[in-house]
Amino acid sequence: MEYEFELRFKIPADSSDIERVVERLGEAACDDALIGIGQPGRIALKFTREAKSAKQAIVSALEDVKRAIPAAKLIEAGPDFVGLTDVAELLGVSRQNVRKLMLTHAASFPAPVHEGSAAIWHLEPVLQWLRSKGGYNISEPQIDVAHISMQINLIKAVERLELRMQREVRSLLV
């Protein structure tokens, strides 16, 4: 099966020879990715990878990038963090349509992970919710990729937590 996802990395300052970085990525089996190099010290790879599962596709891509650029630090796996515009683009509808859907079903629509002038959601619960409503063309691979991307990003976030703080707060969140 084919899976589409994006991995964004911070790369070391000694990676200034971007042509060599791109060459190393190709040698490390990342030739199934479009490479974005717009911001110095950052690299984004948009993969279309064949694999038996979304997990296998994303984990193998992470391994390939680390083999090519050992000091690369993952910033984010995606698609995961989305706003209403991102959801609208994915569904092929207007942002206003998604906003109306969210407001009409405020009690059951997934809670955002950040709420402010712009709200941000994890994509996977939104896709699951939309699929439960019916009428939207959401594929299993889309949900699988969003799920694995969210899991990777959550693991990254948890690694930054102090163990004592985890224990103190965990019981309050249930």
Domain boundaries in the chain? 2-78, 81-138
Flag whether the pTM goes above 0.85. yes
Q: Does domain 2-78 match CATH 3.30.70.3400?
A: yes
Q: What is the pLDDT of residues 22-77, one digit of tens each?
A: 999 999 999 999 999 888 889 999 999 999 999 999 999 999 999 999 999 999 99
Structural tokens at position 48: 């279309």
> How remote is the C-alpha of 110 from its chain's centroid?
17
Neighbouring CB atoms inside 10 A of 12's CB total 13
**Nearest residue to 80 via CA among 155, 5, 137, 131:** 5
| Type of residue at 48 | T
Q: What is the pLDDT of residues 92-102, one digit of tens each?
A: 999 999 999 99
Give the C-alpha separation, 101 to 64, whole Å: 40
3-class secondary-structure state, position 36: strand
Give the CATH number of domain 81-138; options: 2.40.50, 3.20.20, 1.10.10, 1.20.1740. 1.10.10
